[in-house]
Structure 1
Amino acid sequence: MVRSYKWLGGIGYILSFIPYASFISSILVAVAWILMGKDTRERIFTILGVLMLITYVLAITLIIWLILSFLPVAFAGTMAIAPGAMTTPWKMGEVFGRFFAQIIGMIIIGLVLVGLAITVFILDIVAHFRAGRIFDNRWFKIAGWMRIILAIAIIIAIPLTVFMIISSGPSMLPSTPFGPSYGAILSLLFTILWPMLIALLVGLLATIFSIIAFFTISEEATTTQSSSQLQQQ
């Protein structure tokens, strides 16, 4: 079993760098943690994998719900402005009333999704440290520390970026007869978004260390750990 989650986890984290394959990445990583939990009998791994799957399914559901909710409103708006449209006000009110009710539902699901994402992030850190101890793998521990640094970087980057956006303005762009140059715009964006870029870099490093950690799992360490736990039971 070690080979299955070893490769599933490593490949899953690699696919997270590919935008159109990120949905496959989420599933592979979640399954890898679940299989690791089954093999090592560590509940934290299983819980993390299950919550990853739940978060992924809930996010997809929210996106589909959002798309389906906007379609009737867009259609009603088109009918209302179309020449000769016979849409009555009460029908329009009914459509928009349902839309706002769905918006409230989506907000609730969104809040639940945020809570799940935070929980998964915390469990992900704990699971990496636990895996590092079980497999005697320093890369899991490094990946765990990088996630802690990532959390700190995000906490610092968000208010700092907001402050940079508020304090900056069009006056910071050197003007030309044809308006600000692309170089000036890119320079301004880098000046504003550099805290988020640092957080992004830390996140990339954390993912890279997770890739290395999964690929360097020792089969002997897994077998020994599982056997010792079975003997204790």
Structure 2
Amino acid sequence: MSNSTEYRLSATPEPYESAPTLEGLTSEQYKVFSEERVAAEEKYEEAVGAHEEEEEQKAAEEKRKEEEKQVAILKEKQEAKEKRKELDRLKAKEVADAAEKKKKQDDLKKKKDEKKLRKEQKKAEKAAKATESGKGAASTAEATLVSEEKGTDADTEGEMSESAKKKALKKLKEIRDGKRKATAPAGPKRKRAPKSASVVEESDGGSKPGPSKRVKAEVSGPMEGEEELVGNSK
């Protein structure tokens, strides 16, 4: 008659409960019972170890996924930062190019304005020089005329020129001759003498009749229609 021994075997990580033992087992039965018990305990430990390993693997996988997620977030942030930096660089370059273009346009306009101003200044200087030259020539001519009127020389101020002396002597002589004619007795009336024609000599030696350089009408007496002047003799 064999006695059956009941015990619990489990491969799950549940708390292990030893199977109840019965007294009165033979040595052979006890040996079989012990071996079965050891095998059950080993299976339990294996099951517990497998469960722990599975949990560790699961935790490691979750950790890896979280790390990958954080890496992706950091990468996205870095890319966004690089993109903003590139946009800022392009914007700064655009502003610098616009400023450089404006500077070149301003420099070109300034050069054109300066060139135009120099031309206008040169024209004004030429006009001023021409005006001054005209004023100088007019002043010189006026001074010469005044000098001749006053009988002065431009180089020797205050002294009468030789030409002025001759003019003064000639004028004095004409005045004396006029007085003599006025005091002379009246004679018979005569008509004005016709003007004489002289011959103008050409440079080639030929000659042709023409008006003389000086036309002089000599009158020996008073003309018709004029009153005779009778001088009072003293």
TM-score normalized by the length of structure 1: 0.22
Return the structure number with greater helix share: 1
When Rg is computed on C-alpha atoms for both structures, the one with the higher figure is 2
Return the structure number with greater strand share: 2
Instruction: Using CA pairs under 8 Å that are at least 6 residues apart, name the structure with larger relative contact order, 1 or 2.
Output: 1
